[in-house]
Structures are given as structure tokens and as C-alpha cells.
Amino acid sequence: MSVADSSLLSQLFERFAVEPSTEALRSAWLARPHGSAADKVYRDALEWLERKLWSGGVQPELLALYQALFREFEQQRDADSDDRRHHFVVVIPVADRPEHLRSCLASLLELCQLYRYGSYRDGRFTHVSVLLADDSEQHANQRSHREIAADFTARGLTTEYFGADAQRELFARLSVSSRSALQRMLGSGEPLHHKGASITRNLAYLHLASRLPAQPRQLFYCIDSDQEFRVRIDTAQGERNLYALNYLHQLDRIFTTTDAQVLTGKVVGDPPVSPAVMAGNFLEDVLGFLSRMAQLDASQACQFHQPNGDKVSDASYHDMADLFGFKSEVARYDYHCTLDGAHDHAACFADFAVRLNRFFDGEHPTRHSYYEPAELHAGIQSARTIYTGNYIFRPSALRFGIPFASLKLRMAGPVMGRLIKAEIGPGFVSVNLPMLHKRTVAGLGQSEFRPGIEHGNDRIDLCGEFERQFFGDVMLFTVEQLTARGYPARSLSNATIEQSLIATEERMFELYSAKQAQILNKLERLESLFADPAQWWQAHPGLVDARADFVRFIANMQHNFGDGACGYSIIAEPAKRERRHAQMLSALCDLAADQDSWQRVLESLCPTGAMQPERTAR
């Protein structure tokens, strides 16, 4: 390929000709032996442009050039018949979420079109495909998901629908003894809907194993249906969601040049945790919003557009962030108004009120996280937590099935991460490749489906999710204690395991009870401030709906976190705690046996040697 053939690369050299680093790139391009070293020059140019892209805030024209230069790079590589880059299988479990799913797949297709990772032949992207694992209950949603898969396949993104019939067939292929041995990882086999994301992922793992080696070099990329292949950034003009990361290219490079077996990214946008553990912090922010509004005039130009100088850390939204080694320096975060154009505080008040009740579906209007650019490969770090909506692994890591799946506890990713770290140590890494997380659908103002959350006319009930969160925390910190003692490779007595489980459960119950007391105090203050007849929002004629939204929010907070709340009653009731205790103790004591059974089933499904570790190129 000549310089003339590389028009965008030439444009880059010419546009930034005055910069010495660009001249060095141009010289390297011109000095290369004919037909060789093109890859390196393109990679160096793209890395240089990426640094330029983020150095002064994202500039739209530079982002467009960055994407186009990747497409030119891929056109050059497309002529290479010996392209040994990885094929990505994007695994998406979905349950009754057609709108979320369509947005998710649309973002993946857009990513492929903008960056053109791998070959594009006969109208199809050859280095990426999707496995859609359906856990829906509603037949209409199953049909919609199947049609969505067919639609994106027709548009060039091969999408396999792995629904109830295919899952049932997979179960039938397993021996009776295997099904019995793996009940904690696969469930009983019936019903095949709302089994939970962990069981659905495990079934997808087995399906992937059964068709190895489908491609010479594969990576399995597990995401959630409420995510997109974009990042959210905070600018002076407000939030922007951008296709600014070439996920597939970067991941291929990492897995080609390192010995990573399992890699996890994170999310930006909505928090990845449950509202069950965000209520205290959110109430603090709502109190701050109303307190500030009380000092302002309704008709005054909105003062809630100043950029928030406080960065939201990995756990700023979590009421018990200290449990995970984080300490937030900021007790209260300001609301950043999302309205455009000239408007007053009454309009801002109404806009905030609309967002209040979305909190119960997992949105956090005051504590969004944003992408923070950093040098990617230098930032590869040892990991301990799997973000189940953003993790990638080699076929050899199929052996890490998700444990305790039938218990349907939250925190499955952190638990799995602790166990993987205990086994492979530096082979488990994290990297700065977050995905955009969007808990709610714009038209609904809530999630299409979320287990453990029940919506009534005005009532939102978190009881199921609260219970799953509490015992998920108990399981996580019990596993953390046990792995510090060598578990599961080192055999521990059942008595030792139970002692750790009991101590952790007692500690978590004390923490949850203390947080409830703090929430009750904040709720009392919020009710008093909001209902104060002297406040301007109480008499404002244009805020009837907004006041109703606040009343509904406070009532739902009382229902879920106040005296006698269902979730707290469940975790305090001896009989229910004993049932969960027995389930978790049995699962922990039998983990090694479950892992052995999982490995035997994998070996029975896939060809000999298909899951051998891949050799990396340095």
C-alpha cells in the first residue's frame, strides 16, 4: 500500500505536520520496506491520535477521524488472508427486555460499522457474532427477541437465538447424574424462564463448549442487555454518549500480547448495584437538592448547570462503600440539571421530580459515573471482581462456571471474581474499557423487567431484590474470608465454613440495621422539608405533578426502607434466615464437588484439547 492509497493517514500527517511526533510517524511510513511494517505505523498513528483526542476534551472532528482511520486500517488488513485476530462471541442473557436488547445490539452493530474490526465479507462482519440466551417468561417477548436476532443477522451481525427449546435440548444431552450433580449451577431444568442470569449464562457456557472449536481463536464477551458499546463523558455542555473506544481491537491486542485468561471492564452511566444499597446516599442528595432549592426563587434562571467538580468513584453511590475498600470524600452530590435552553428553578424542580422514582429501578440521578481516559495497556491491573455485564475470557476459562447460581443471589460477579483470583491470580485482570449502563427505557421511565422488583400503580416493591442483596453480601464476604485461607483449593472443614458464614451474617445484619436507622433519620428530615408549607414549591401552580412525584417517592422509600419494611423483616425472621443459611452452607461445603462435576460435563461436550490455553504472541 502506498501513501497515496492511505488517504486518511496522509491527511493526519499533513494536518499535524508541525508536530515533531507526527513527522516521525510519516518518516517511519515512508522508510518502511515495501509491503511491510504498515501495521505498526497505523497502530502508532492511532495511539498518537487517541492521546490527541482526549488531551483537550473530545473534539467531534477528531473522533470522526479516529474512527475513519481505523476503518482504513481494517481495509488494509482485509486483504491479508492470514488474519489471525480473535473472533468475538458476544454472549447476552436477556429476560423480557426487547427494547433494551434492540438498543444493545444496535450499539454493537454501530461499533462494528464505525471501526470495522476484522473482515467484512458478503455483507457480514466475520470476526464478531452474538449468542442471545433467552430467559423470558412472556411468549410475546420470546418472539420479539427471536425476531430481533433475525433482524440483526440480516443486517450483517450474526446473532444466534438460544431459546427455551435449545436449552431444553441441551439439558436432555446431559446424563441424569450430571443434571443432579449440577443443580446448583443449572437448576432443575424446568421451568426454563426466569431462572436468573447466572443459570442462563452457565447454560450458554455449555452451549459454547459443545461447539468448540467453532473458530480458530475465540474470545467470549459477556455483557448485559441494558448496556451499550459507548462511554459517557461529562462536558460543560452536559453529558454525551460516544463511540469513542474500539473495544474489539483493544481486547484482541490484550489477549494477543498477554497471558490474561479472564478480563473484566466496568460500567459508566447508571450504577451496577441495587437501589437496596444506595438509598442512604440518594436521600442525602435529595435533601441537598431541596435545601438548595429552598434558598432560591422559583422564577430565577436555573443555577443547577455548573459542572460537578466531585468525581464519582467506583463506589460513591454505595451506602457501604467502605466494605469494598473505598472511602468517599464527598457526603453529598449536587444534581446537574439536564434541561436545555432558558428555564427557571420550577422547571428544574419538575424535571428532577420525574427522575425520583426511577431510582427504584437502579438509576441514580445525582451520582453518574463517567469515562476517564487513561493509557490502556499500562493500566492493566490485577482484578478481584467480575462485572457480569462486561467480562471477556478465553475458551480455556469456560471451566469457571458461575457458582451458586440456583440461589439467585446478587453479587454473583464479585463472588465469582474472588474464586477466580484465588485460582489464577495474575491471569485475572481489569482494564479501562467500560460500557454504558442504562437501567431504564426512556419511554417507560423504568426497566422492562428486573427480578425482585414489583411495580404497582403507585407502589414499587424492592422486597425480593433486598433479600437477594443482603444474602448476596453475606455470601461474598464469607467467600472473601474463606479464600484468604486457601479455599477452595485447600479443603476446609464444614464447621470452619459455617463459623465464617455465621460471623459474616451477624456482621452484615448489624450493618444493614445501622444503615436503616440512618435512612429513617434522613427520611424524617426529607418529609419535614418537602411538606413545609412555607416552601415555594408547595404553592406553585405548575408543580402539581412534581409534588405528586415527591409524595410517591417518599412513600416508596418508607415502604422499602422504613419501620416494618418487608426486606428488613425477611432478613430478621429466624425461619427465613435459617433456610438461606442452610442453602449457602451446603453450597459452600460442596463447591469443590460442583466444580469437578462442571469440568466433567464440559469435557463430555467439547472435543479433546479444544479448551487448551492459547499461546500468546509477545
The 3-state secondary structure of 444-479, one letter per residue: CCECCCCCCCEECCCCEECHHHHHHHHHHHHHHHHH
pLDDT of residue 16: 82
- How far apart, in whole angstroms, are the C-alpha atoms of residue 145 and residue 157? 15
The pLDDT of 533-556, averaged and rounded, is 95
Q: Answer whether residue 117 shows pLDDT above 90.
A: yes
Q: Is the dihedral of CA 551, 554, 557, 558 positive or negative?
A: negative
The residue with greater pLDDT, 311 or 320, is: 320
User: Is residue 567 very low, low, confident or very high in pLDDT (cuts 50, 70, 90)?
Assistant: very high
Q: Answer whether residue 24 shows pLDDT above 60.
A: yes
The pLDDT of 86-109, averaged and rounded, is 96
Q: What pTM value is reported for the model?
A: 0.92
User: Is residue 310 very low, low, confident or very high in pLDDT (cuts 50, 70, 90)?
Assistant: low
The pLDDT of 236-255, averaged and rounded, is 91
pLDDT of residue 307: 64
The pLDDT of 174-203, averaged and rounded, is 91
Burial degree of 352 (CB within 10 A; 0-12, 13-18, 19+): buried
The residue with greater pLDDT, 216 or 434, is: 434
User: Is residue 615 very low, low, confident or very high in pLDDT (cuts 50, 70, 90)?
Assistant: low
The pLDDT of 9-16, averaged and rounded, is 79
What would the pLDDT profile of 335-361 be if each residue is shown by its tens digit?
Answer: 988 898 999 999 999 999 999 999 998
- How far apart, in whole angstroms, are the C-alpha atoms of residue 245 and residue 233? 12
pLDDT of residue 533: 95
pLDDT of residue 309: 54
Q: Give the amino acid at 453.
A: I
- How far apart, in whole angstroms, are the C-alpha atoms of residue 29 and residue 37? 8
Mean model confidence pLDDT for the chain: 89
Q: Answer whether residue 1 shows pLDDT above 50.
A: no
What would the pLDDT profile of 260-283 be if each residue is shown by its tens digit?
Answer: 999 999 999 888 888 889 899 999
pLDDT of residue 2: 40
The residue to which cell 473482515 is assigned = 119
- How far apart, in whole angstroms, are the C-alpha atoms of residue 138 and residue 193? 9
Q: Answer whether residue 324 shows pLDDT above 70.
A: yes
Determine contact, residues 159/105, Cβ cutoff 8 Å.
yes
What would the pLDDT profile of 584-600 be if each residue is shown by its tens digit?
Answer: 999 999 999 999 999 99
pLDDT of residue 222: 97
The pLDDT of 123-139, averaged and rounded, is 95
User: Is residue 4 very low, low, confident or very high in pLDDT (cuts 50, 70, 90)?
Assistant: very low
Q: Answer whether residue 539 shows pLDDT above 70.
A: yes
pLDDT of residue 5: 54
The pLDDT of 240-249, averaged and rounded, is 94
Determine contact, residues 454/465, Cβ cutoff 8 Å.
no
Domain extents in the chain: 7-78
Q: Answer whether residue 141 shows pLDDT above 70.
A: yes
- SS3 percent helix, strand, coil of the chain, rounded to 5, is 55, 10, 35
Determine contact, residues 41/25, Cβ cutoff 8 Å.
yes
The pLDDT of 170-180, averaged and rounded, is 91
pLDDT of residue 80: 61
